[in-house]
Amino acid sequence: MKKGDILEGIVERVDFPNKGIVAVEGGDCKVVVKNTIPGQRLRIQVNKARKGRAEARVLEILSPSPIETRVPCAHFGVCGGCVYQSVSYEEQLAIKKKQLKGMLDSVIDYEYAFEGVKASPVCDGYRNKMEYSFGDEVKDGPMSLGMHKRGSFHDVITVDGCKIADEDYGAVLKCVLAFATSSGLSFFHKMSHEGYFRHLLVRKAVKTREILIDIVTTTQADLDYSELVRDLRALKLSGTIVGILHTKNDRLGDVVANEGTEILYGQDYFYEELLGLRFKITPFSFFQTNSLGAEVLYSTAREYIGDTAGKTVFDLYSGTGTIAQIVAPVAKKVVGVEIVGEAVEAAKLNAGLNHLDNCTFIAGDVLKVIDDIPEKPDLIILDPPRDGIHPKALDKIIDYGVPYLVYISCKPTSLVRDLQVFHERGYRVVKGCGVDMFPGTGHVECIVELARK
């Protein structure tokens, strides 16, 4: 097998998060093909070939998988967002359950309780935040606004019919794109670093139905936004627009960054509610993108955490303090540590909103500030970023010697890596499960409870 070979085969399984393992006809090695579904018959072309291993891309789906029974959105397969949208939700959960159990079992060689993957309450229209990019679908084509094409750094397709965001997002997207097109200004080109329009950020609360809209541009032009504000406010939406913003970003990287935000209408925040608590959310503060799924996640976390009465709890990588506030009502004290300063300020404000005076939130890197916390924890909750916990920080966390910890992870492969260290230091997994926060995609959140031997 060599680069450029065109082969046919069937997808035997999909490893987390999206790596299809294809059995090739007449071949003696497995080929990795991303963004595929078990049971599909494919024509593929080899991109990389090594001894006993190859990677390829899909040229054609010769026949769909028997489990593809669901009608996906019009952008499915072209947009880089979803992988499993054509598969029934029950089958999606089954795939993720098998993947997660396999990853955990690769490092756990003893008995533990695996509780499967808990479903999201909704699998369509669940996202409370979308970040759209300005660009073009083909080079020098008309301006588009939406998501990157699968496998492309440059091409952007307009996704006004996206199924994982509700209809209000599509209406806002079309309105903003029409305004941007009529302005005569171009989008920001990643190679030349010239152009004006960069991103559109839309956030919508599930419980309060409040909508926040933020147009992100460079400072390479000046534009009057009064017409856009008028047109957006005139839209017939199921939610209510509470703020329209304009953020400036001249950074060269393709990220949504805030280098100054102007309020064009209303306010620069909205409210969402989870498990009876109220949260004030700003454009760039972290909040779980699936509000109803977050209630499942945090209810499960609260169950794993157990009784916190009279205990001092450390919530490390605490974000906007959601978990801290969920366990705070009966705890003695909760200390949250988060590196993003804006998130810490939001956590303090939200604790005040919810009348919780036993929460302390510290801005800083867990590795650097943990030694300066005077309190000693009875219990530790971990919810690190995708790459997991820094090895030196992990050592310090384990050195506390708490009887048990709860680890929440949005990237199971990072969790599995960290579990090996916990095992070496005397902890064992008591139970674990997944929570499907991202229906239609290959991602899954997971939680484990660890106890000292």
- Which residues are marked as active site? 410
Residue for token digits 């309190």?
375
CB 83 within 8 A of CB 19: no
CB 25 within 8 A of CB 8: yes
Distance in angstroms (rounded) separating the CA atoms of residues 391 and 369: 15
For 425, other C-beta atoms within 10 Å of its C-beta total: 15
CB 367 within 8 A of CB 338: no
190 CB burial (10 A radius; 0-12, 13-18, 19+) = middle
Name the token pair of 114: 């695996």
How, if at all, do strands 30-34 and 53-63 pair?
parallel
10: closest CA among 40, 37, 34, 31? 40
Within 94-236, strands assigned E span 113-118, 129-136, 143-148, 156-158, 197-204, 210-217
Whether the ω angle into residue 385 lies within 30 degrees of 0, i.e. cis, is no
Within 218-260, strands assigned E span 240-248
Q: Which residues contact 399 (CB under 8 A, 6 or more apart)?
A: none
| Coil/strand/helix, residue 422 | helix
The number of residues in the chain equals: 453
390 CB burial (10 A radius; 0-12, 13-18, 19+) = middle
For 160, other C-beta atoms within 10 Å of its C-beta total: 19
CB 115 within 8 A of CB 128: no
Distance in angstroms (rounded) separating the CA atoms of residues 16 and 414: 12
CB 336 within 8 A of CB 321: yes
Looking at this protein, which amino acid is placed at residue 50? R
Within 307-419, strands assigned E span 312-316, 333-338, 359-363, 379-382, 404-409
Q: Return phi, psi of residue 416, to 5°.
A: -60, -40
